[in-house]
């Protein structure tokens, strides 16, 4: 069996960083990914929820912002939950194993020097990854 997803797109908003009760970092963001319709060649956009864990989550929250171009490699996860009216819902999201920053932050934008973050020591063409053993579930 295989569950592998590779996406390239732009962030629709700033990553949202939180911590689990045990202190594990988790960041969430939405990726806008274009796709073409074969028959009419028009583009449509899919908005895909991404979940990132541990140090990679902190790096994404510190160095990525709305509009930044990234490549995400991970696995598709479908989870169920009950909404506020008690109706059972499903949510699809990609759990990122690797996030690659494909562009540099614009001057004065999120993650840019002078915007409260420094990119020193971060290679924008390199992978930020973690081991499957790092996932706390």
Reported as a pLDDT band with limits 50, 70 and 90, residue 61 is very high
SS3 call for 26? strand
- The stretch 101-120 carries a mean pLDDT of 56
pLDDT one-digit tens code per residue, 65-105: 999 999 999 999 999 999 999 999 999 999 999 999 998 87
pLDDT one-digit tens code per residue, 10-32: 999 999 999 999 999 999 999 99
Domain tally for the chain?
Answer: 1
Whole-model pTM: value is: 0.73
The Cα 118–Cα 115 span in angstroms is 8
3-state helix/strand/coil string of 62-108:
HHCCCCCEEEEEEEEEEEEEECCCCCEEEEEEEEEEEEEECCCCCCC
Residue 90 within a domain: yes
Domain that includes residue 103, residue range: 1-9+42-117
132, pLDDT greater than 80: no
CATH of the domain at 92: 2.40.50.140
Residue 65 within a domain: yes
Residue 14 within a domain: no
């Amino acid at each position: 069996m295989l569950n592998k997803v590779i996406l390239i797109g732009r962030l629709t908003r700033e990553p949202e960083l939180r911590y689990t009760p045990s202190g594990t970092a988790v960041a969430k963001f939405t990726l806008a990914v274009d796709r073409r319709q074969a028959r009419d060649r028009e583009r449509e956009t899919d908005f895909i929820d991404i979940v990132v864990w541990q140090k990679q989550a902190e790096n994404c929250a510190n160095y990525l912002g709305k509009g930044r171009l990234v490549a995400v490699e991970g696995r598709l996860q479908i989870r169920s939950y009950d909404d506020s009216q008690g109706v059972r819902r499903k949510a699809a999201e990609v759990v990122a194993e690797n996030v690659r920053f494909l562009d540099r932050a614009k001057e004065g934008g999120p993650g840019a020097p002078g915007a409260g973050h420094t990119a020193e020591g971060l290679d924008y063409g390199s992978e930020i990854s973690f081991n499957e053993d790092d996932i706390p579930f």
